[in-house]
Amino acid sequence: MTTIAFLGAGSVVFTRELLADILTFDELRGVTLALHDIDAERLETAEAIARRTASQLGALPVITTSLDRRVVLDGADFVVNAVQVGMHAATVRDFEIPARYGLRQTIGDTLGVGGIFRALRTFPVLAGIAADMRELCPRAWLLNYTNPMAMNIGYLAAIAPDLRAVGLCHSVYWTVRDLSDLLGVPYSEVDYTGAGVNHQAWLLRLEHRGESLYPRLDELLERDPGLRRRVRMDMYRRLGYFPTETSEHSSEYVPWYLRDDAEIERLRIPVGDYLRISADNVDEYRETRRAVLAGEPLDVSRDATEYAPQVIHSITTGTRRRIHANVANAGLISNLPEGYAVEVPCVVDALGVRPERVGALPAQCAALNRGFVNVGELTVRAALTGDRRMVRQAAMVDPNTAATLSLDRIWELCDELTAAHGDLIPEALR
Instruction: Give the residue numbers spanning the domain of 225.
Output: 88-108+169-271+306-430
227 within domain boundaries: yes
Cβ 172 vs Cβ 194: under 8 Å: yes
Residue 304 has pLDDT above 80, yes or no: no
The angle, 0 to 180 degrees and rounded to 10, between the axes of the packed helices 12-24 and 40-57 is 30
- The verdict on residue 209 lying in a domain is yes
Does 88 appear as a known binding residue? no
Q: Tell me, what DSSP letter sits at residue 167?
A: E
Q: What is the pLDDT of residues 354-381, one digit of tens each?
A: 999 999 999 999 999 999 999 999 999 9
Considering its fold, how many domains does the chain have in total? 1
pLDDT at 334 over 70: yes
Mean per-residue pLDDT of the chain: 95
Does the residue 154 lie in any domain? Answer: no
State percent of the chain over pLDDT 70. 99
User: Is residue 321 a part of any domain in this protein?
Assistant: yes
- Phi and psi at residue 63, to the nearest 5°: -115, 120
pTM for this model (two decimals): 0.95
The CATH number of the domain holding residue 365 is 3.90.110.10
CB 188 within 8 A of CB 182: no
So what's the pLDDT on residue 289?
A: 86
- Residue 398 belongs to a domain: yes
Q: Rounded distance, CA 179 to CA 193, Å? A: 14
Q: Does the pLDDT at position 116 exceed 70?
A: yes
147 assigned binding-site residue: yes
* Residue type, position 394, single letter: A
- Per the CB < 8 A criterion, the answer to whether 142 and 122 are in contact is no
The verdict on residue 348 lying in a domain is yes
Q: What residues act catalytically?
A: 170
169 is in an annotated binding site: yes
| Cα–Cα distance, 164 to 141 (Å, whole number) | 5
* Mean pLDDT value across residues 67-73: 97
Average pLDDT over residues 3-21: 89
The answer to whether residue 294 sits within a structural domain is no
Domain-located, residue 131? no
pLDDT digits (tens, 9 = 90+) for 136-170: 999 999 999 999 999 999 999 999 999 999 999 99
Check residue 72 and give its pLDDT.
Answer: 98
